Structures are given as structure tokens and as C-alpha cells.
Structure 1
């Protein structure tokens, strides 16, 4: 089974005054470096966002038009993969507590299903999960339908396991206060 992953790192970060979340530091490393570390088991990683130097290999891509939302970013990253995977991981760059163990749990939880996604402490699905590539191919919209499409709409017809977070791994950084509270 091949596992490839897409890091969603090209959003507007409106609640953080437009900051480049990928470049924001936590514990001495950028949020992008945290994301790449979480995906160390992936055979290939595409970062959808501005290209920057990284300590781990990654391909960079950008959706057109920019700021098309998570569905456009996911599918842009998926189309940029060199080899077709059997499982596609997706991770928002603003989730620094997600680890390789998180993605191993997600892949285990997806067995026999279309995929699995991490939840936050309140049970809401987060942008950290895995999807069977064939099922993603089956539900993907045409190019025009990607821009601005809500992520929940893309996943609506899929049989997904929801995986409760361990510790803080379900937390994301949407505001400067969230970053401070990490």
C-alpha cells in the first residue's frame, strides 16, 4: 500500500492577520516542519502553498486561482503527486501536535472503510485524515467545482471513521491566541 500526503499550507489565515501559517514557529520549528514530521511515513509529500526551504523532501504546488479552499488545495496536491498512491493523507499545516503515530492510527482506523479523520476534543472533524485514493477519485468534482467547495461536501458520501484525539493532537492554530495557548 502506497501512502502519499498533502499538506494544506496556502490559506489566507484571516484570523491571524494574513500571516503565513507555514512559517509561524512553535517549539523552535515552523508549523510546516511539524507537519512534514507528522508525515514521515509518507512515500511522497506535496505541500500546497508557497515554496520554502524544508528539512524534509517535499514537492510544492499552488492551486489556481489561489485561495480556492481546502478541496481545491487537496486536489491540486493530489494531481501533483508523481506516483498514484493507494491512500492519500491530508493535513492542515496548523496542527502541530499531529504525529506519525496519529497517521498510523488513522490508517488503521480506515481499514475496510473509505478513510478516517481526526476529530478535535469536541468531536468535530479536523483537516487531518486519510482517504482511499480510489474513493477520492470517485467523488472529486470537476475543476470548476473545486474552488470554494466546503471540505465536508467532498467527503459527504464517504464512509469515514472518526478518530478521537490523544492529548492535544486535535488542536489547530486558527488565531494568535491559539498559538499562545499551545
Structure 2
């Protein structure tokens, strides 16, 4: 094959050809890193999570059924990997965010600024919540706890958790209205 397509590479990958994984890696590594970096803002962590994406691709190669574009599929895997990492963090601090993207992860400056601004606005919105709302929101969205687990941990009723979460989401919607579409798209709401 002189110029293999994405489907050709997928067939070879499913057959266990490591050269197919290398070719996919070489072609898709930078876009995967860019997708991850938008969320984690750390070059080293970005590379680690990108490696995880390709390891997972290799491990699940026999079950792969990708009908869409391979690049889009890998970017979605990357976003999911990054969001899983962010959700597991107990706190999200804006002062950890760099102002620009380094080297090979560079995207247009306005995208970098917008991502940084969004992260700062999310952090400020969370910090502006009343203490109980803030606790409930963070346990739900960042630690992925169920309402029952939150109620047990905070020693409150499930109804109180529901009310506090509703209040938190209302405040967050008011403060992040300009970004609501982006937040919904990436599964934050």
C-alpha cells in the first residue's frame, strides 16, 4: 500500500501490527496533545495522558469499530482522558494555569487566552458559591460522587444535596452564561 487510509491503518492495528500504531501515533500525537492540554495546562501531564490514550487504543484494538474519522475519535478519547483527570482532582486552581501553550502544543493565541479565561471564570464561579453549595458541587462534579454518597459524607439529606446542587448550578449558569454551550458540550452540565 503506497498511501494507506485511516481504515487501512485500523485494519492493521486490529491485526496487531505495531507499525500501524506507530504510524497512527506519529500522525495523531500532536492533535491529541492539543486536545488534552486545553484542560490540564501542564506539558508533562499532557504527554502522560496522551500516552494513555495510545496505550488504551492498542489495548482495545481488537474491539475497535470506528465509523467516523480516526483523528476525531482519538481527540474525543483525549478529551475524555483529560476530563477524567480533571474530575479526579479535588480542587481546580486557576493560578496553576500558564498564560500560553508551549512549543509543539501551540494553538492560536486567542484560543489559549479563551481557554485560560474560561478556567479562571469557572474557578471564580466555584469560589463564589456558598460553602455548602461549593462542597456539594465539587463532590459531584470533580469527585464524581452520587447524591447519596454526598449526603452520607456531609451528613445531610439527599433532598438537601439536590437543593444545594440546584442552587449551585443556577449560580454557575448566571456567572458562566457566555460559556454555557462549551460547558454542556464537554459534559460539565
TM-score normalised per structure 1? 0.29
TM-score normalised per structure 2? 0.29
Larger proportion of strand = 1
Choose 1 or 2 for highest CA Rg. 2
Question: Which protein, 1 or 2, shows the higher relative CO under an 8 Å CA cutoff with sep ≥ 6?
Answer: 1
